[in-house]
Amino acid sequence: MRIFAIQDDSLPNRVLGYLIYYELQRAFYIELPEDADMWETPLLLSSFIKQGLYSIGSNWSRMWVQQRIIPQDRQNIVQILKENGLKEYDAFQLLMLAKGRCAQDDCYLEEVNASVLSAWLLKRWETKIEDVTPLHAARLLIFFRNGDTRIADIQTLTPSHPECRPYIAQPSRFSSVEVQPDGYGVMWSDRAMILHHELYAHSMSIPLTLDDFRGFVQHRLASASEACQLLDCSRQNIDDLMRRGKLHPVRQDSKYKLFLRNEILQRRRT
């Protein structure tokens, strides 16, 4: 992770916000202070302040970056990249060539260490996500960095995130949910994302910790091999129990199956 303070030549010693860049995923995020002045903030970003939004998702953050660099469809882009020692089009490297400066404003980027980040940003990051598990009925079990565990009904967020509707409509697609880089939120694709603070605000707290959940997975789930040992049977017997609806895997693919250990033990007692 690399962090850059967004600054302005006309406003010395004032940080307008931060640009966060994750090199492995090539993902950008922008954070603005809640007391940001709309008239001092760069144009594209000021539109979020009007809406009361201060954490900018990766898609819009990348759009802000692209406004400050040479477009990829520039006619002589190959020559430009060669002259600047670049083998391929790289938005981050192009942004660094001029420290984020462009003709639209007086803003520039100054790299900073995480140890000097503003208190408001560190506080905001407390609700980043450690892990997520999809549940039935388009709900997510979310473990937040501050130790809270919450359940979010994603259907209640579709008015502001219509791009998530196709995933809610299909349980198999909904279960493909992943955590964004560094816990910035959850995502189903590059265009279907929800940031951590929004999920935190629209979710219900439950008395469960991530360690509790890990303990459940460790002690209450069993592989097909363990099921064979517990039932003293062969893999073929396990497959037969599944076909007859007597054993229900909680997850399976072509290589492995996971079962609730208690269901296996119940089978052993019958």
91 in the same domain as 8: yes
Q: Alpha carbon 107 to chain centroid distance? A: 27
233 in the same domain as 203: no
pTM, 2 dp: 0.78
Mean pLDDT value across the chain: 89
Residue 165 has pLDDT above 80, yes or no: yes
78 in the same domain as 180: no
Tokens 């592989």 identify what position? 223
**Rg value, the chain, Cα:** 24
CATH of the domain at 191: 3.30.2020.10
118 in the same domain as 6: yes
110 in the same domain as 9: yes
Which tokens hold the place of 85?
């020692």
Tens digit of pLDDT for each residue in 84-113?
888 888 889 999 988 999 888 899 999 999
CATH of the domain at 224: 1.10.1660
97 in the same domain as 202: no
Tokens 């400066």 identify what position? 101
* Band of pLDDT at residue 269, cut at 50, 70 and 90: low
8 in the same domain as 21: yes
Which of 122, 140, 165 marks a domain boundary? 122
Name the residue range of residue 163's domain. 128-208
Tens digit of pLDDT for each residue in 112-153?
998 888 899 999 999 999 989 888 889 999 999 999 999 999
Run of H or E residues at 13: none
171 in the same domain as 223: no
235 in the same domain as 181: no
The count of domains in the chain is 3
Which of 182, 208, 234 marks a domain boundary? 208
177 in the same domain as 73: no
Tens digit of pLDDT for each residue in 70-83?
888 888 888 888 88
115 in the same domain as 33: yes
Q: What is the 3-state secondary structure (H, E, C) of 102-117?
A: CCCCCEEEEEECHHHC
How many CB atoms within 10 Å of residue 33?
17
Which of 92, 122, 152 marks a domain boundary? 122
DSSP codes of every residue in 18-75 = EEEEETTTTEEEEE--TT--TTTS-HHHHHHHHTT--EE-HHHHHHHHHTTS--TT-T
Alpha-carbon distances, residue 180 vs 85, 108, 123, 131, 188 (angstroms): 31, 26, 19, 10, 9
Residue 199 near residue 120, CB atoms below 8 Å: no
97 in the same domain as 24: yes
